[in-house]
Amino acid sequence: MRVGHTFTRHFDLETRQHELFGMDLGEGPSRRVLVTGAALYTVWVGGLLLILGVPTQLLFTFYFAPPALITYYGAQRSRRNERRWNLTRWALVIRYLTVGHRPIVNGGRRAADRSEWLPLRARLGERSEAFLDLPGMGVFEGALGGEEPKPTAGRPAKLDSRPRLYGPDHVYRARMRTRSGRRAEASPAGADAKKGTR
């Protein structure tokens, strides 16, 4: 099965749910938003039911408001990247902060060592200093790591590449050769010559 990718908003077609359990929804919400909201509600409410039990009147808002807010604001288009939802951008930011930057070594031929990852302090940049200046946050000084990434482990990877530069005259000659070859194949004499060689 082929998978198509949408690169512009012009071809961003969304399916909408116009009816739900016999109720008319008018223009209807996007099905992706409905599926995302249903998944968030299932995980959030299911987890809270296991931990806290059935919601009381005081906890009812805590059970149902966070997934609704995350779905509503997360399904909107990101201002930084128009092709992404806010939810996708938030997930990428959280992943970057928790997992870190793992460099691709030699085109992915080997996994990066832990010493080659960027420490949390380098990922946060200037925000880490502002965070540590807050009252009581100095205890996280060791968790942020060092100022700079640790030196790379192992020997350096050497690249032996030989670039070839072709001038416009060479490109023109090559183009003429391919054109003349196509013309010879397309002409009746060229077709007869091919038949004779077979």
Per-residue pLDDT, 34: 85
Q: Are residues 139 and 114 in the same domain?
A: yes
Q: Are residues 79 and 107 in the same domain?
A: no
- Among 117, 138, 153, give the residue marking a domain's end: 153
Which residues are paired to 24 by β-bridges? Answer: 19
Instruction: Quote the number of domains for the chain.
Output: 2
- Tell me: pLDDT of 134 over 90: no
Report residue 119 as tokens.
């420490």
Per-residue pLDDT, 39: 92
Q: Are residues 19 and 81 in the same domain?
A: yes
Residues 66, 56: Cα–Cα separation, whole Å? 16
Q: Token pair 């007869």 is at which residue? A: 192
- 95 belongs to a structural domain: no
Q: Tell me which residue of 33, 120, 115 sits closest to 71, measured CA to CA.
A: 33
How long is the chain?
198
Q: Are residues 120 and 79 in the same domain?
A: no
Helix (H, G, I), strand (E, B) or coil at 138: helix
1-15, 58-72, 82-96, 126-140: least confident range: 1-15
Q: Is 54 left (phi over 0), alpha (psi -120 to 50) or beta?
A: beta
Per-residue pLDDT averaged across 60-84, rounded? 86
Q: Range of 139's domain?
A: 102-153
Q: Are residues 20 and 79 in the same domain?
A: yes
- 112 belongs to a structural domain: yes
Q: Are residues 74 and 114 in the same domain?
A: no
Q: Are residues 107 and 83 in the same domain?
A: no
- 164 belongs to a structural domain: no
Q: Are residues 45 and 67 in the same domain?
A: yes
Q: Are residues 18 and 81 in the same domain?
A: yes
Residues 121, 150: Cα–Cα separation, whole Å? 12
- 48 belongs to a structural domain: yes
Higher-confidence position of 196 and 49? 49
69-83, 116-130, 143-157: least confident range: 143-157
Q: Are residues 85 and 106 in the same domain?
A: no
Cβ atoms within 10 Å of 134's Cβ, excluding its own: 9
